[in-house]
Every structure is written in C-alpha cells, then in structure tokens.
Copies of this chain bind each other. A is one copy, B any other.
C-alpha cells in the first residue's frame, strides 16, 4: 500500500518516524494516492532532506512557501521580540509539522532551527498545482492540521500561565513523552534533544531553575534523568504534580 513512501527501521539514537505516524501523511497520501488524475510536478514534495544541527530551515519574515514535517531529529521554533532576545515558542519532534504559522500571511512569523542533525520532508504549497476535487480534500486536511495547532496552542497557554516551575516541568516531560509515544516511538525512555536553556525559554523560567527542578523531580523518584536522557518512573505521580495535587 505504501510503496513510494519511505519506511526506515528505527536506528537507536536518531530514529525516524514511519510515514503512517507523520502529521504530513494526510497530505502526502492524498497527493500520491488521490483519484489518480493528479500528476505532481517535480519538487512539490521533497522527502527526507538532511539538515545539520543548528541549521535554519526558514526565518521569521521570509516568504511562506512550504509546510515541513520532521522525519527524524528535532527542531525548535523561536521568535525575536522587537527589543529582546530570542524566545523559544515550540519544539517539533519526529512526525510533527513545522511552518504552519506562515499560512495566513505571506511570511513565516518565527524561525525554525534544527536541534540536532535531522531529516525533514517539505511540501511546497506555492508550487502545488490546482487539481480540482482532490484540492478540496487537501484543503480540508490542511484545515484539520491548523485546527489542531490552534487547540494545542490554547492548551499550552493554560499549561504555562500561572503554574509553578514544578508543574511546568512535570507537564513538559509528560507532553514530550506522550508526543513521542503518539508517533510510535518509546515515550518511556527518550532523549531530550533541546538544551536546558531552550526548555527554560519555552517554559518562561531561568535555565538554573529548570536544572534545579529536574533534579527535584529526580529526587522525588518520578523520573530518572542524566544529561539529556530521561526515563519515566512514575508517570501517574508526574501527572499529579503537573495538575498540582
């Protein structure tokens, strides 16, 4: 059923998600298996492009052209307030979309940067041919993707505003873990690819506080953590901490 779509065995540290677990798959699938009348021009769908650690795939203000999906590795998106320094507004794990914020205007509103060497799939919306019936379906899938982003952002706001550092970090670990799980990888035992200061910026804390609070969670026995390697010991207890009980 999935001939041309790639499926590479998990390779330890930098595992790839399978296409069927990728957020872009609803679109990929449609483009290739639609009503058969569609002939995609070259270069509309670019698969498994390598990106090196620290590389920027699009910049805030540059013209919107593509959705991206993380195939392996991970990314952060950052915004630069007028007078201030970069703030991390999102992390993107394998199977997740990047670049959706640009779809309304003509430009991306944030900058996306690889946290490690990664593979990324790119769908060039600007070069997509007009294809009638299947375009309808394509659009409604895009609507669904965007709707999920809106709902996720709302949840995020609730999780960050008005929470203690312990609650934020417990919620953060749980969120990363469940996102990894959703894509068919192990959410019990994983690697945090981002630095403590990236986490700090994302959660609105100081990096020292992130460090201290992670140690605290370890002492409480709910997680095992050494450098970037995390193991969930008591997800339920963690959930309790995140919800403040």
Contacts and interface: CB of A to CB of B under 8 A. Distances in A.
B151 A104 contact: yes
A13 interface: no
A50 interface: no
B150 A79 contact: no
B140 A104 contact: no
Interface residues of A, number: 48
A81 B243 contact: yes
A221 interface: no
Given A104-B151, A142-B143, A147-B103, A157 B84 contact: no
Contact of A135 (B136, B161, B201, B204): B136
Contacts of A144: 103-104
Contact of A143 (B81, B83, B139, B156): B139
B161 A203 contact: yes
Main secondary structure of the interface of A (DSSP, over half): helix
Contacts of A156: 153, 157
A241 to B, nearest CB: 11
A104 to B, nearest CB: 3
**Quick one: which of A100, A143, A154 has the most chain B CB within 10 A?**
A154
A208 interface: no
Given A139-B140, A243-B81, A87 B158 contact: yes
A82 B203 CA distance: 20
Contacts of A110: 154
A135 to B, nearest CB: 6
Given A140-B139, A147-B104, A151-B101, A83 B204 contact: no
B87 A150 contact: no
A143 to B, nearest CB: 6
Interface in A76-130: 77, 79, 81-84, 87, 89-90, 100-105, 109-110
19 contacts: A77-B154, A79-B155, A81-B159, A83-B243, A84-B243, A87-B161, A87-B162, A89-B158, A101-B150, A101-B154, A102-B147, A103-B144, A104-B148, A139-B139, A139-B140, A146-B149, A150-B153, A153-B157, A160-B160
Interface of A: 77, 79, 81-84, 87, 89-90, 100-105, 109-110, 135-136, 139-140, 142-151, 153-162, 201-204, 243-245
